[in-house]
Each structure stands twice: as structure tokens, then as C-alpha cells.
Amino acid sequence: MSQENMNNNIQHYLNDFEQLGDNIKSDWFSEQRQSALSLFKESGFPSSRQENWKYTDTRPIAKKEFLHSSDTSVSISSDQIDAVRFQGLDCYELVFINGIYSIDHSRIQGLPENIVIENMAAALAKDSELLEKHLARYADNKVSPFTALNTAFIQHGTYINVPKNTAIDKPINILYLSKNNDQPFASHPRNLIVMGEQSEATLIESYIGIDDANYFTNAVTEVSLSASAILKHYKIQQESLNAYHIGNLNVMQGKDSRFESNSISLGGSLVRNDIHGHLAAEGASIVMNGLYMTDNKQHIDNHTRVDHLKPNTYSTETYRGVLNGKSRAVFNGKVVVHPQAQKIEAHQNNANLLLSDDAEIDTKPELEIYADDVKCSHGATVGQLDQDMLFYLRSRAIDEETAKSLLTYAFADEVLKDISFAPVKNRLEYLIVGRLPDAALIREFTNE
Amino acid sequence: MLNIQDLHAKVEDKEILKGLNLNIKAGEVHAIMGPNGSGKSTLANVLAGKNGYEVTKGSVEYDGKDLLELAPEERAWAGVFLAFQYPVEIPGVNNVYLLKAAVNAIRKNRGEQELDAVEFLSLVKEKMKLVKMKEDLLNRSVNEGFSGGEKKRNEIFQMAVLEPKLAILDETDSGLDIDALKIVSEGVNSLRNEERSIILVTHYQRLLDYIKPDYVHVLSNGKIIKSGGPELALELEEKGYDWIVETEAA
């Protein structure tokens, strides 16, 4: 099959779209979906001949016939869900199984009345001006065919609205759990977070595969921050090693707002995370921390882009990668400073540790600056473990394997150092240790 | 306890040690002095097993074993300790966890019972006093953000906790002000006993005012060219290295 045909192997998506039916009455939404589908139909899946997809070949996704996940009978036991929760974290929680909202497992009791946290399908059924104003306005269907595909299938996902001058008392935890069904399936979670002026919240999105489930997650999250709003966002990607994950996060930021992104990518066979921050008013700032750990034949691609559209805006990005086996990772961090955006600061750093000779990283920090009074820096490093550190530990009676494992852990753990919720930090540290070649050797260093 | 014979070692194809002989008995303190580039640090690193040093000739027997055959950690298990000239900072690795793992790795390899958290803590508390170690440094990452003096103090603190049979102190006096030098020296003196051998590698005689060696050796161009008692260090201080290098060459 030629690449062209491969890219257009999308008929089953079109069929599934017809099956979705039109239980949604609002015209604006039907139009959104229809135009997104047309875009996807026209473009098909991206080709690696496109610059933006140069290092990530999505043909494995295109080749497989993932059917739209609509089976509501799939169940996951409470014990299994407990095992992936953050121990000791008091939070509001929405649970989705194979992309479908599970009312039984979700816990949003006690939510203050002025705050909305609900399934996207419920929000769509109610419809609202706010939803119409924000949904599908930030994630651009034209930029990625995957976003268009997601928009066409908007149904389940999370809708959050935190009104003006309100801070949520607990973090919001969203669990997207996937387990094997009769056939490989696709889910298209869609999240929209609308934060009013001076509001504050913490949101954790977790994507977790149970066993070796075979599926495709195509998630899109849109965030709108009004003036002085603060959102701390965590994305924890632990899909199954047979799974495909494409995730897109788009943030529109108002005056003096602050967005903090922490993206931890550990699972998946083929993964692409896109984050796009729009610093659209003065004083807006974005912080992006990321960690990716790959092994075997995993492929994880992180693309970020920040547009400094106005003066006095700030961005900082720190991504670290640990690569083992024959795995491959991509980092592409783009910062665009627009002509009127004077006195901005943008700093970017990407550091990688290669634990095997067969692992490969493509790292590309990009700065496009069209203003003249700016402070920008960027850097990328690719290396092995520091030999002086290794010798120091070994001279202190630590055997070589443990010392290597410990230094790898310490390298990765740097990304987590500012996480303020102990249950989240503890779980992430536990997961990171679990991904190291000699996890058992250093558990005692981290558990005490 | 330590017998070095005709040791030759190369770093990046450059021969640094050119036939070094040294014999150290249990409980003795030997100072190795010499000008920059004479091979002092190379000797310390070869004994501790650092990568990148190639021994081309000679032997090192330690406690009846061929030391050069052992990996760095095996040397540590066998009681060898190197106090580094430039202790490296290791962000993310906790100082006290490292020390606990080190103590227990050594005990395990000696067939001794590992220490539990309580036993370990009381050991640490006791040893901290020796070098007046500040408690908040314990829970920081290894050497991260420590001042030069704090790093050196941490090395001697580790030595106190690990109780080596052979301690090699590589320029422990460098970068220390006089107060810190006194504290570190007192720490080292309190660790002297009839079973523990110590090698003091130093450029200056100053350290030897505080830690009295049994023997002083002068290292020049990869060989020991003169050995003597503590008085040799004083003579060196007075007349300089050039004097002895020229005298011995003549």
C-alpha cells in the first residue's frame, strides 16, 4: 500500500461518525463536528513528510482498525482503580473507562455549588453560552488532523468551570482507564477547563492502560485562563505498552494568569504530546516541566509551542528524558516572540540521558524572535551518566548497578522537585523508580 | 597492610607514576608530599580504583589481596576509603541515605548484621560531633550547595561513619581556612588507632602541624625520591621542593 492510501485508510472513522447519531441539538456544536470531520476526511492522518511530524511516523495508528469505543459494559473493579489512585490524596475525581464516563467510580460529592466539574456529554446536553464560547476555540483542527478527529467525536471528557474569585479546595483528578475489549478501540477524550478571573485550581489528567490493552487514545484538552487565574496541570501518561496516545493541550492565557504544566510520559508504544501556550495578555506566564522515560521500542514525542503575543510575558520550559533499549524520543520546543512582545523572558532546556547505545533522541529547541528587547535562552544536552558521580558513589561502597540506577533516578527526579502535593509526588517517584532498570536496588533510597 | 611495588600508571597515554614503592603497616600515618604534577592525586585515584587510570606495571597488595583486581565498591567493602580532593555534588541523592546504604553495604559484605534506622541514626549523631557537622547538611543532596569547607568536613564525617582500614586523604587541607583545618584535623586524629592506616596526600606542610605523620615521603616525577620522619616535612617547608629534587637528582 502506498503512503497515500495508508493515510486515507480512514473509512471506519467515517462510518463510526455516522453511528454517533445526532442526539446533540445545538447547531453550533453540530457545525463544529461536521467541519472537523470534513477537515479530517480531507487530510487523513499526517505524513512524516510534514515538518511537524518528521520524527513521528503515525502509520501504525493509521494501519490499525480502531473502532470507536462505545461499549458501556466494560468494567474495571474498584480494587484495580484504587491501585492507580494517589494514596492519601483528597480530591474530586472523574473516572472514564475506555473513554466512557463511569458515574459509579467518579466522586464529586461535596463540590461547592458555583463550581462545575462534569462529563462533557452532560455539559453538551445542557448547552451554555460559556461552552459555545470556549469549546473547540483554542485547539486548532487545522493544525493537527488528530485534533480534528477528536473534535468530530466530542462526547465524553471533562468540563470544568471555576468562576471568578474562586479557588477549588481540592485537586481534580481525572482518570482515563483503558482495558482490552473484543477489538482494538479508539477513544477521543475532550476536556475543557474555563477559569474565571482570579480563580485557582489543580488538575491531574491520568491516562492509564490496564494490562497489555490494545487501543488508541486521542485526547484534546483546552484551557482558558481569565485575568490572574492560576491552573496547575499534571498529565500522567501511563498507557499500556501496546497502546497509542496522541494528546493535545492548548492554553489561552489572559492578563497576569499563570499556567503550570507537568507532563510525565512513561507508557505507550507510540506517543505524541503537544502543548501550545498562547500568552495573549501582559503578565501571563507559563511553566512547562516534562519527563519522558522510554524503553524497548517505545516512541515518545513531545512538541511544545509558546506564543509570546504581548509584552512582559514569561515562559520557562524544562524537559528531561531517560531513554533505554531501542527506544526513541523526540523533543521539539518552539518559542515564538511576536513583534509587539517586548520585554518578555523565555527560557528552555532539554536534557537527555541515554542508557543504551541503541536508544535515539531527536532534540530541537527553536526560537523565533521578532521583537528586539527580550531575554531568551535555550539549550539541549544528550549524555550518559556522569562518571565522577558514578565513581564517587562506588567509592562509597555502592555497587555499580545500584549507583547507575540511583543517578538515573536523581536525574529524572529533578523534574518533580517542585510538586507541592506529597501524594502526587510520592506516586510519581514510585512510578519513576519502577521504570528504572534496577528498580529494586534503589527502592530503599526513596521509601525512607 | 599496604604494599606498593614498582607501580607504573598512565592517564590518557601519559605516564604519571613511574615505579613507585611504598609499604604501610597497620596503624601508621604516611604523608605523601610533592609538587604539583608529581603524581600525588594519581596515586590516590589508582588506589581507589578510578576509571581512566591504567596500571602498566607493578603491584598493590592490600590486606593480603591484589587491590588492583577489585572494583571501586569492592575496595570500599574491604575497608579502603578515599577522601576526595574535589568532592562531587550529586543533586537528587540524599546525603544521609547514601551513608546508610554505604554502611550497610560494607557490613553486609563483611557478614555483619545491617544497621536499622535507629542504630544508624545514633551512629550518625555520635560521628557528627567529631567534625562539628551541621545537622541540616545531612538531609541535603550529596555536597549540593556545600561550601568548600563543608564538603571537606563531609568527607571526614563519612570516613568517621564508615570506619575504614585504609584512608587516603587527597589534599584534604586545600581550600580550608585555619579554623576548618583544625576541626578536620582533630576529626582525623580522633580516628587514628593501631589498626587504621592513613595516607595524607598534601602539597603543604601546614596539615602536618595538626596531623603528625609517622613517615613523610616526597613524590617527584612519579617516584618517591626521599622518605623520612616528620622532620623531613619541616625541611621541605623551609627549603622548598626544588632543593630536594635537585639534591636527589645530583
Place of cell 499556567: A259
Q: Given an 8 Å threshold on Cβ–Cβ distance, is A392 in contact with B92?
A: no
Q: Do A262 and A402 belong together in one domain?
A: no
Give the residue with greater pLDDT, B120 vs B132: B120
- B29 has pLDDT over 50: yes
The reported pLDDT for the residue numbered B37 is 86
Q: Do A277 and A392 belong together in one domain?
A: no
CB A359 within 8 A of CB A412: no
User: What's the whole-number mean pLDDT along residues A165-187?
Assistant: 95
User: What's the whole-number mean pLDDT along residues A156-174?
Assistant: 97
CB A227 within 8 A of CB A253: no
Q: A-chain residues within 8 Å CB-CB of B72? A: 391, 394-395
Residue type, A129: E
Place of cell 459494559: A73
Domain ends where: A281, A306, A334? Answer: A281
Host H or E run for residue A375? strand A374-383
**A285 CA to chain B: closest CA distance, Å?**
27
**B230 CA to chain A: closest CA distance, Å?**
30
Q: Using 50, 70 and 90 to split pLDDT, how confident is the model at A411? A: very high
In a domain, A238, yes or no: yes
Q: Do A422 and A273 belong together in one domain?
A: no
Strands (E), B155-231: 166-170, 197-202, 215-220, 223-228
Looking at the complex, does the CB of residue B118 fall below 8 Å from at least one CB of chain A?
no
- Which pLDDT tens digit goes with each residue over A146-161? 999 999 999 999 999 9
For residue A105, give the C-alpha cell: 467510580
Quick one: what percent of chain B has pLDDT higher than 70?
99
In a domain, A222, yes or no: yes
Output the CA–CA distances (angstroms, integers) from residue A123 to A23, A36, A127, in the order listed. Answer: 13, 20, 6
Average pLDDT of every residue of chain A: 93
CA dist A147 and A50 (Å) reads 16
Q: B-chain residues within 8 Å CB-CB of A405? A: none
Strand partners, A209: A178
Q: A-chain residues within 8 Å CB-CB of B115? A: none
Q: A-chain residues within 8 Å CB-CB of B105? A: 397-399
pTM (two decimals): 0.88
Query: Which of A66-70, A218-222, A224-228, B53-57 bottoms out in mean pLDDT, i.e. has the lowest?
Result: A66-70
User: What's the whole-number mean pLDDT along residues A246-263?
Assistant: 98
Q: Using 50, 70 and 90 to split pLDDT, how confident is the model at B24? A: very high
User: What's the whole-number mean pLDDT along residues B53-81?
Assistant: 96
Spatial neighbors of A155 by CB under 8 A, at least 6 apart, are A20, A120, A121, A124, A188, A190
- Single out the residue of A161, A67, A170, A409 nearest to residue B94, CA to CA: A409
Q: Do A231 and A114 belong together in one domain?
A: yes
Q: Using 50, 70 and 90 to split pLDDT, how confident is the model at A3? A: very low
User: What's the whole-number mean pLDDT along residues A334-362?
Assistant: 96
Core vs surface per residue A305-332: b (16+ CB within 10 A) or e: bbbbbbbbbbbbbbbbbbbbebbbbbbb
The reported pLDDT for the residue numbered B237 is 84
In a domain, A373, yes or no: no
- A6 has pLDDT over 60: no
Q: Using 50, 70 and 90 to split pLDDT, how confident is the model at B175? A: confident
For residue A230, give the C-alpha cell: 492560576
Q: Do A398 and A276 belong together in one domain?
A: no
Q: Do A267 and A397 belong together in one domain?
A: no
Pick from A397, A406, A414: which is nearest to B76 by CB? Answer: A397
In a domain, A291, yes or no: no
Considering only CB atoms, which residues of chain A are within 8 Å of chain B? Answer: 386-389, 391-400, 402-403, 406-407, 409-411, 413-414, 444-445, 448
Q: Given an 8 Å threshold on Cβ–Cβ distance, is A391 in contact with B162?
A: no
Q: Using 50, 70 and 90 to split pLDDT, how confident is the model at A446? A: low
In a domain, A403, yes or no: yes
Q: Using 50, 70 and 90 to split pLDDT, how confident is the model at A237? A: very high
In a domain, A341, yes or no: no
Quick one: what percent of chain A has pLDDT higher than 90?
84
Domain ends where: A217, A249, A281? Answer: A281
Quick one: what percent of chain B has pLDDT higher than 90?
78
Comparing alpha-carbon positions, the chain B residue that sits nearest to A402 is B101
Spatial neighbors of A319 by CB under 8 A, at least 6 apart, are A288, A289, A290, A291, A292, A302, A304, A331, A333, A349, A350, A351, A415
For residue A200, give the C-alpha cell: 485557582
The reported pLDDT for the residue numbered A45 is 94
CA triple A279-A280-A285, angle to 5 deg: 30
- B145 has pLDDT over 70: yes
Q: Given an 8 Å threshold on Cβ–Cβ distance, is A444 in contact with B101?
A: yes
Q: A-chain residues within 8 Å CB-CB of B52? A: 387
Secondary-structure percent of chain B, ordered helix, strand, coil, rounded to 5: 40, 30, 30
Spatial neighbors of A234 by CB under 8 A, at least 6 apart, are A202, A203, A204, A205, A262, A263, A264, A419, A424
CB B233 within 8 A of CB B209: no
Q: Using 50, 70 and 90 to split pLDDT, how confident is the model at A2? A: very low
The DSSP string of A316-359 is EEEEEEEE-TT-EEEEEEEEEE-TT--SEEEEEEEEEEE-STT-
The reported pLDDT for the residue numbered A26 is 87
Q: Given an 8 Å threshold on Cβ–Cβ distance, is A406 in contact with B158?
A: no
- A441 has pLDDT over 80: no
User: What's the whole-number mean pLDDT along residues A83-87?
Assistant: 91
Q: Do A76 and A198 belong together in one domain?
A: yes
Pick from A397, A444, A448: which is nearest to B77 by CB? Answer: A397
Q: Do A275 and A405 belong together in one domain?
A: no
User: What's the whole-number mean pLDDT along residues B188-192?
Assistant: 95
Q: Do A270 and A398 belong together in one domain?
A: no
Comparing alpha-carbon positions, the chain A residue that sits nearest to B80 is A395
- Single out the residue of B40, B44, B8, B70 nearest to residue B217, CA to CA: B40
Spatial neighbors of A24 by CB under 8 A, at least 6 apart, are A30, A124, A125
Residue type, A318: T
CA dist B81 and B248 (Å) reads 32
Q: Using 50, 70 and 90 to split pLDDT, how confident is the model at B35? A: confident
Helix (H, G, I), strand (E, B) or coil at A29: helix
Host H or E run for residue A144? none
In a domain, A323, yes or no: no
- A228 has pLDDT over 90: yes
Q: Do A418 and A272 belong together in one domain?
A: no
The reported pLDDT for the residue numbered A210 is 93
Q: Do A50 and A191 belong together in one domain?
A: yes
User: What's the whole-number mean pLDDT along residues B193-199?
Assistant: 96
For residue B147, give the C-alpha cell: 561550601
User: What's the whole-number mean pLDDT along residues A233-250?
Assistant: 97
The tally of domains found in chain A comes to 2
- Which pLDDT tens digit goes with each residue over A255-298? 999 999 999 999 999 999 999 999 999 999 999 999 999 999 99
Q: Given an 8 Å threshold on Cβ–Cβ distance, is B92 in contact with A386?
A: no
The DSSP string of B133-173 is --HHHHTSEETTT--HHHHHHHHHHHHHHH--SEEEEESTT
ipTM: 0.96
Average pLDDT of every residue of chain B: 92
Q: Given an 8 Å threshold on Cβ–Cβ distance, is B50 in contact with A414?
A: no
CA dist A137 and A64 (Å) reads 30
Tell me which residue range forms the domain holding A248.
Answer: 3-281
Domain ends where: A281, A309, A340? Answer: A281
Pick from A400, A413, A414: which is nearest to B71 by CB? Answer: A400
B58: region left, alpha or beta (phi > 0 left; psi from -120 to 50 alpha): left
**What backbone phi and psi angles, to 5 degrees, belong to B24?**
-125, 130
